């Protein structure tokens, strides 16, 4: 028995040494894990040597061979669990690793403390040590067993949760593999310290197998499919059982017939064999179908799928129906939960292509947009190599470690499991993608090849569908542009009429004061002598005529400055209350003559602003004059203000000027701000500056808009419509920022909070 024990020592030690070789080969990929794994293997080998060595180690005080063995097992399990938890893809991985190390340290401290506080040595590994620990109430053994149970539950529980929370079948398979591997190591530890020699050896072999499984999982990103392996094993066992029964039955039947001659026995065996084959073959087919149905591992019929898919795709001329066909085919053939397509919609960025989600996936994700680096490994695999790709490879394959973080996060947000390129004439026009399967099985190579085949058949149809969509979009744009062109032509006609009207209005405006000037000059020329009162009257009339001409010329100059953005604004601290009062004060006599009522409310408490007071007075006065002229005698004009931020949350003031006048047609709400525009027949032009329905050259509101926009604000008009009988009225709104965007803030006028 000693030779067997020594042989096992050599074999197990060689096994641990052999596991160090793949770590050395893969040390660059494992980085820090290589050190942790190597230490785990060395400690495990020491524990095996200590447990099965035939030479008992002498006890030094309380440090017995059993205590040293307990420490080695504790360290082995700690290192093993640390490496295993580092491979978990849970969001709380760091917390789990910290908790694991904390419990392990606490376990170690408690074990050492128990050994110091008690006189009973730890006799782990001896025959009957468990019963002895219970009957003698050994504190050290109790601490060891309790810590082992807690550590086992934490390790297995975290891996079970990782299996439950895995988004990809491949990740779930890795988690399930880790569960089995951890259970293998834990079972090996229990058997190795059982105290029974044969069981100890079995336990050491299981511990070595667990360590080997951990090395395998650490040196490869894709472990073998456990569910497929289990199903294949069950199928083989069942087939072996049925075959054994059939052969046993055949031999038993042939033997029971009692043939006397060799020829008879041969004939009987042949007949029985044929009958058993007739029974066996249908049973074998039925068994395969049963396993396929139960385990849902049926291989898709690629030829039939591609033929039907090609027929359906050729009939789809629009993108959305085409994507529905693709989705239905993938659900039927691969059993995926959902699918979609990434369409390449932007290639203008250097080194990047833009993508947008289309298809059924867009109903859940929306038009999610992202970028794909043309220098990254994902683009190389899809566009250059024209090969399919699983999302598991993107996450775990070392070849895709250089994938940009933003690109990786975008692909994660899609929650897809496999991708296949849609290439037409060596150009990537889209990516066909699908989620995990309904039965949670991973994507095998045959599945990815089928996905690539469908993507290849989809390429031309996608390009044609996109061309059709582009043509329809172009037609809609052309229709919209034609409508806009028609509106522009209508406006041009109106503006052409405006120019003609301006000539009429301007000539009238200029001719009237010129006629007055010439008339009074003729009077002066005909008089030899005049009284002082006559001279004063003539001079006053001459002054009014010249001022009227000066006002018209100044307005035309202001408009010309606005056209070339040359209006000079001198900003200073002021208040909207002061601006409105200054603008309205010269108009009080006119309001009395027209018997109109003007009220200004809620202006005093408004915050101060930075503005050009003179220009702002001019702008607001033009709006008030416009309200006076188009409001009948006895009408009302209201001016209100309030603090209000714009859409960009810039603080400002909104000033509203409402009247009870004739109103404005909807089509003229924007045109009234055009220079020289008048909403009424210039033939009805009135020479009175403030008369009802009187009008000037059509420059006042143009100047007002230029001044307001020069302050960084905006002005607009609202009205139910034009009606000179019911007087629906109109409202002009002016929004002004407290501080123009291109000027520094003034401490004397803080922005609105």
Instruction: Report yes or no: 199 and 191 within 8 Å, Cβ to Cβ.
Output: yes
Convert 654-673 to b/e letters by CB count within 10 Å (16 or more is b): bbbbbbbbbbbeeebbebbb
For residues 175 and 237, state if they share a domain: no
Residue 204 included in any domain: yes
Query: In this structure, what CATH number is given to the domain that contains residue 648?
Result: 3.30.565.10
Where a domain ends, among 472, 494, 519? Answer: 472
- Distance from the Cα of residue 224 to its chain's centroid: 33
Instruction: Kindly state the DSSP code that residue 223 receives in the 8-state scheme.
Output: -
Q: How far apart are alpha carbons 413 and 431 in whole angstroms?
A: 15
Cβ atoms within 10 Å of 29's Cβ, excluding its own: 14
The domain that contains 188 carries what CATH number?
A: 1.20.1070
Domain count of the fold of the chain:
4
Domain that holds residue 243: 229-289
pTM (predicted TM-score): 0.57
Of 444, 472, 500, which residue is a domain's last? 472
Whether residue 339 sits in one domain with residue 267: no
CB-CB contact of 740 with 652 (8 Å): no
3 state SS of 427: strand
Asked if residue 452 lies in contact with residue 388, where contact means CB atoms within 8 angstroms, the answer is yes
Q: Is residue 181 part of a domain?
A: yes
Any domain includes 747: no
Q: Is residue 652 within a helix (H) or strand (E), and if so which, with residue range?
A: strand 652-659
Q: Residues 728, 596: one domain?
A: yes
CATH number at residue 401: 3.30.450.40
Q: Give the angle 214-217-218 at the CA atoms, nearest 5°.
A: 85
For residue 28, what pLDDT is reported? 45
Return the structure tokens found at 214: 């951990």
Give the C-alpha separation, 326 to 720, whole Å: 53
Query: Within a 10 A sphere around the Cβ of 355, how many other Cβ atoms?
Result: 24
What pairing do the DSSP bridges indicate for beta strands 636-643 and 609-611? unpaired
- Is residue 331 one of the residues assigned to a domain? yes
| Positions in the chain short of pLDDT 50 | 27-29, 54-60, 564, 682, 684-686, 744-753
Query: CA 245 to CA 243: how far, in whole Å?
Result: 5
| 217 & 333 share domain | no
Rg of the chain (C-alpha set): 47
Amino acid 136: pLDDT:
64
Residues 18, 146, single domain; the answer is yes
Examine residue 748 and state whether it is found in any structural domain, yes or no. Answer: no
Q: In what order do the strands lie in the sheet with 636-643?
A: 597-601, 636-643, 652-659, 730-737, 714-718
Do residues 205 and 312 both lie within one domain?
A: no
Same domain, 52 and 81: yes
- Within a domain: 675: yes
Residues 233 and 333 in one domain: no
464: nearest Cα among 639, 316, 263, 659:
316
Residue 457 sits in the same domain as residue 571:
no
Strand ranges inside 454-587, DSSP E: 572-574
Residues 113 and 258 both lie in one domain: no
Identify whether residues 74 and 151 lie together within a single domain: yes
Do 349 and 380 reside in the same domain of the chain? yes
List residues bridging with 599 in a β-sheet. 638
419 three-state secondary structure? strand
Burial of 172 (0-12, 13-18, 19+ CB in 10 A): buried
- Residue 750 within any structural domain of the chain: no
Is 625 a domain residue? yes
For residue 453, give Cα distances in angstroms to 330, 446, 636.
12, 10, 77
**Per-residue confidence (pLDDT) for residue 264, from 0 to 100:** 72
pLDDT value at position 4? 65
Within 10 Å of residue 456's Cβ, how many Cβ atoms?
17
Q: Tell me which residue has tokens 């008030």.
A: 624
Is residue 404 helix, strand or coil? coil
Helix/strand/coil for 209: helix
Domain boundary residue, one of 472, 496, 521: 472
């Amino acid at each position: 028995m000693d030779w067997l024990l020594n042989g096992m020592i050599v074999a197990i030690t060689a096994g641990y040494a052999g596991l160090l070789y793949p770590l050395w080969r893969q040390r660059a990929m494992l980085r820090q894990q290589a050190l942790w794994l190597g230490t785990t293997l060395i400690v495990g080998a020491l524990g095996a040597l200590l447990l099965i060595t035939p030479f008992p180690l002498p006890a030094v005080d309380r440090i017995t061979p059993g205590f040293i063995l307990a420490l080695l097992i504790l360290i082995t399990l700690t290192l093993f669990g640390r490496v295993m938890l580092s491979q978990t893809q849970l969001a709380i991985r760091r917390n789990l690793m910290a908790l694991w190390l904390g419990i392990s340290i606490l376990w170690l401290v408690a074990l050492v403390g128990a050994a110091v506080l008690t006189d009973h040595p730890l006799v782990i590994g001896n025959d009957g040590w468990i019963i002895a620990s219970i009957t003698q109430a050994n504190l050290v053994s109790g601490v060891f067993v309790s810590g082992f149970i807690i550590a086992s539950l934490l390790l297995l529980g975290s891996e079970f949760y990782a299996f439950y929370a895995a988004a990809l079948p491949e990740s779930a398979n890795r988690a399930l593999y880790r569960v089995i591997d951890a259970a293998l190591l834990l079972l090996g530890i229990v058997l190795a310290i059982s105290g029974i020699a044969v069981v100890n050896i079995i336990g050491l072999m299981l511990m070595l197998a667990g360590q080997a499984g951990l090395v395998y999982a650490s040196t490869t990103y894709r472990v073998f499919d456990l569910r497929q392996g289990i199903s294949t094993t069950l199928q083989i066992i069942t087939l072996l059982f049925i075959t054994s029964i059939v052969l046993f039955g055949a031999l038993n039947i042939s033997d029971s017939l009692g043939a006397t001659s060799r020829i008879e026995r041969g004939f009987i065996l042949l007949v029985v064999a044929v009958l058993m084959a007739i029974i066996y073959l249908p049973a074998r087919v039925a068994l395969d179908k049963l396993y396929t149905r139960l385990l849902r591992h049926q291989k898709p019929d690629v030829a039939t799928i591609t033929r039907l898919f090609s027929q359906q795709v050729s009939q789809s001329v629009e993108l959305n129906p085409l994507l529905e066909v693709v989705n239905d085919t993938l659900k039927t053939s691969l059993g995926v939960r959902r699918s979609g397509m990434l369409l390449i919609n932007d290639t203008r960025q250097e080194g990047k292509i833009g993508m947008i989600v289309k298809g059924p996936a867009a109903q859940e994700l929306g038009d999610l947009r992202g970028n794909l680096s043309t220098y990254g490994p994902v683009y190389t695999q899809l566009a250059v190599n024209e090969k399919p790709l699983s999302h598991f490879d993107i996450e775990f394959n070392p070849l895709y470690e250089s994938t940009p973080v933003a690109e990786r996060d975008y692909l994660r947000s899609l929650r897809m499991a496999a991708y296949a390129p849609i290439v037409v004439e060596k150009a990537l026009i889209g990516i066909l993608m699908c989620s995990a399967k309904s039965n949670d099985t991973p994507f095998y190579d045959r599945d990815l090849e089928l996905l690539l085949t469908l993507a290849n058949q989809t390429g031309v149809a996608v390009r044609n569908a996109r061309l059709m969509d582009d043509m329809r979009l172009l037609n809609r744009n052309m229709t919209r542009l034609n409508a806009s062109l028609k509106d522009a032509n209508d406006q041009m006609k109106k503006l052409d009429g405006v120019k003609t009207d301006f000539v009429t209005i301007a000539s009238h405006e200029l001719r009237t004061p010129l006629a007055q000037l010439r008339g009074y000059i003729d009077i002066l020329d005909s008089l030899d002598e005049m009284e002082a009162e006559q001279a004063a009257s003539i001079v006053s009339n001459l002054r009014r005529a010249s001022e009227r001409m000066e006002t018209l010329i100044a307005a035309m100059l202001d408009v010309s400055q606005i056209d070339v953005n040359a209006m000079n604004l001198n900003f200073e601290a002021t208040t909207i209350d002061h601006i409105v009062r200054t603008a309205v004060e010269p108009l009080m006599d006119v309001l009395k003559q027209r018997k109109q009522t003007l009220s200004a409310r809620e202006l005093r408490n408004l915050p101060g602003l930075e503005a050009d007071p003179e220009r702002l007075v001019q702008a607001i006065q033009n709006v008030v004059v416009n309200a006076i002229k188009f409001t009948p005698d006895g009408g009302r004009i209201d001016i209100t203000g309030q603090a209000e931020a714009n859409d960009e949350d810039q603080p400002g003031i909104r000033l509203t000027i409402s009247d009870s006048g004739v109103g404005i047609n909807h089509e003229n709400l924007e045109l009234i701000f055009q220079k020289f525009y008048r909403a009424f027949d210039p033939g009805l032009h009135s020479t009175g500056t403030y008369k009802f329905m009187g009008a000037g050259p059509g420059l006042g509101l143009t100047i007002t808009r230029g001044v307001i926009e020069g302050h960084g604000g905006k002005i607009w008009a609202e009205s139910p419509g034009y009606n000179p009988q019911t007087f629906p009225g109109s409202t002009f709104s002016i929004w002004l920022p407290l501080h123009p965007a291109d000027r520094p803030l003034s401490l004397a006028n803080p922005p609105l909070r």
